[in-house]
Amino acid sequence: MYNKKSFPKGALYVIEVIRNSGHKAYFVGGCVRDLMLGKSPHEFDVTTDATPHVIKRLFDKVVPTGEEFGTMTVVLADGSYEVTTFRSDESYSDARHPDRVTFTKSIGDDLSRRDFTVNAMAYDPFSEEFIDKHGGRADLKKKIIRTVGDPLERFGEDGLRPVRACRFAAKLDFKIENKTLEAIRKTLDVVRKVSPERIHDEMVKMLSAEKPSIGIEYMRISGLLKLIIPELDECFGVTQPKPFHKHDVYWHSLYTCDALAGRSYQLRLAGLLHDIAKPECKVERPTEKGMTFYNHDSRGVEIARDVMTRLKFSNADIDSVTNLIRNHMFNYQSEWSDSAVRRFMIRVGVDNLDGLFELRVADLKAMEREVTQENLEELKGRISRVIDEDNALNVKSLKVDGSDVMDILKISPGPQVGQVLNWLLDQVIEDPRLNERHRLINLIKSYKG
């Protein structure tokens, strides 16, 4: 069915070793699905009738990543391969993991416990045996996401599966089959039991899709979005002034996220959340421009921080995304002074400028406005000159330090030292020529507090 060159040597080695020991072994799940779609899989998972004890005996380096559930990770020179014993699952009281698993000798039992038909196919690259007991190949052709068996039962077992259905719809650009979609609406209580860390992981994966909007819209119409990011759900139907905007706040946010395809999940999340405060900040102005959204950027920082904290994003991710939201309304004009450009660079952070500019372009694209970048290119040129001239943009760039301040002013370590250094930086931003040691020393001597 597939040329063996389609598979990494390590993956074939794992299958071969298990087969030579008298056991069955297959590639399973996402790698089979992706190969059938003509895509290169990111990982190759193996399913087998060999128990974890046998796997540990067959390979030199094995990590028990989920031994109680039959999952072991075989570590080879070219990568790591997850190997799971054929199993059937019993009840899921925590709505995430089976209370008990039973190892079996049947690949059919193992495929029957899986989530979606497109992930329930197996392939032996040596015998070329292809197993598809649930119509996964047909669903790939139809481009639909459908559960294996009864969707209410599948979603009742694992509350993460409804979110995964939306994520796969976005990743594959598929539709969710009607009965499966209806079952999501009926199992929201099960989703509520899932830890925010698991939801976080699915959302990050969804943001890597070409069009996250597909999955997020399925989340909205199924009720998942109101459960997970109600602040974004509230953006639906919130109109914006024309002719500047063609979409409501919700769709504008989704299209901004889509326009950042191929970028980091942090940048795409900033695109998704950059206008998150508009429903709260909207003020109707019937005699003026129709409506305004005063301070939606600063209020958006607070709301985005709440959303990301709730979904267990790291502090670094929160700082990165909220920085972009805080500054996304920047309005550069050619009349900006050089010191204004330097202050803008300091406020945003030099390392964040490219992301902010990409967000600005995506924002304009989502408005379906003509994207002309002459103004932006001019600002980029001025920023490049500041960098080339090695202007001081932080206290560490000053040619004096805290010790100099304490020696000259005869003060002890404390907040006043930082205050003086920040005052010096402020002077240097206005006039970079002041960043010479003798001039800074004279400024320190003149400091009045």
CATH code of the domain covering residue 13: 3.30.460.10
pLDDT (0 to 100) of residue 91: 60
pLDDT of residue 353 exceeding 80, the answer is yes
Contacts of 262 (CB under 8 A, 6+ apart): none
95 with 129: CB under 8 angstroms?
Answer: no
Same-domain pairing of 60 and 123: yes
CA dihedral angle for residue 351, residue 353, residue 359, residue 365, rounded to 10 degrees: -140
Q: How far apart are CA 443 and CA 322, in angstroms?
A: 35
What are 245-303's pLDDT values in tens digits?
A: 889 999 999 999 999 999 999 999 999 999 999 999 988 876 555 778 889 999 999 99
What are 107-150's pLDDT values in tens digits?
A: 999 999 999 999 999 999 999 999 999 999 999 999 999 999 99
3-state secondary structure of 145: strand
Q: Show the tokens assigned to 112.
A: 């029957």
Same-domain pairing of 31 and 115: yes
pLDDT (0 to 100) of residue 415: 93
Total of domains in the chain: 4
Same-domain pairing of 322 and 270: yes
135: closest CA among 119, 153, 152, 117? 117
| Range of lowest pLDDT (13-22, 285-294, 318-327, 391-400) | 285-294
pLDDT of residue 92 exceeding 80, the answer is no
**CB burial of residue 201 (10 Å; 0-12, 13-18, 19+):** middle
Q: How far apart are CA 63 and CA 82, in angstroms?
A: 9
Point out the domain boundary residue: 123, 142, 161.
142
Point out the domain boundary residue: 391, 410, 434.
391
pLDDT (0 to 100) of residue 100: 72
Write down the mean pLDDT value for the chain. Answer: 93
278: closest CA among 311, 237, 217? 237
Q: What is the mean pLDDT of residues 416-429?
A: 94
216: closest CA among 258, 177, 244? 258
Cα distances from 183 to residues 40, 155, 179, 440, in angstroms, run: 31, 7, 6, 69
Q: How far apart are CA 355 and CA 348, in angstroms?
A: 10
CATH of the domain at 194: 1.10.110.30
CA dihedral angle for residue 156, residue 201, residue 69, residue 107, rounded to 10 degrees: 70
End-to-end Cα spacing for the chain:
78
Same-domain pairing of 114 and 195: no
Could you give the count of Cα atoms lying within 13 Å of 343 in the half-sphere of its Cβ? 13
Q: How far apart are CA 108 and CA 368, in angstroms?
A: 50
Q: What is the mean pLDDT of residues 68-97?
A: 84
Q: How far apart are CA 108 and CA 121, in angstroms?
A: 10
pLDDT of residue 393 exceeding 70, the answer is yes
Same-domain pairing of 248 and 347: yes
pLDDT (0 to 100) of residue 137: 96
Task: Categorize the per-residue pLDDT at 99 as very low, low, confident or very high, splitting at 50, 70 and 90.
Answer: low
Name which residue leads in pLDDT, 194 or 391. 194
Task: Categorize the per-residue pLDDT at 425 as very low, low, confident or very high, splitting at 50, 70 and 90.
Answer: very high
329 with 297: CB under 8 angstroms?
Answer: yes
Q: What is the mean pLDDT of residues 10-24?
A: 96
CATH of the domain at 268: 1.10.3210
pLDDT (0 to 100) of residue 2: 66
pTM of the model: 0.87
Same-domain pairing of 248 and 295: yes
Same-domain pairing of 215 and 250: no
Same-domain pairing of 118 and 191: no
Q: At what angle do helices 315-327 and 353-366 cross, to 10 degrees?
A: 60
Same-domain pairing of 320 and 367: yes
pLDDT of residue 4 exceeding 80, the answer is no
Same-domain pairing of 42 and 87: yes
DSSP 101: E
Point out the domain boundary residue: 125, 142, 159.
142
What are 195-248's pLDDT values in tens digits?
A: 999 999 999 999 999 999 999 999 999 999 999 999 999 999 998 887 778 899
pLDDT (0 to 100) of residue 121: 97
Same-domain pairing of 50 and 176: no
pLDDT (0 to 100) of residue 286: 64
pLDDT (0 to 100) of residue 90: 61
pLDDT (0 to 100) of residue 170: 98
Q: Domain range holding 214? A: 149-228
Q: What is the mean pLDDT of residues 151-155?
A: 95
Cα distances from 335 to residues 237, 347, 382, 423, in angstroms, run: 38, 19, 12, 25
Same-domain pairing of 241 and 224: no
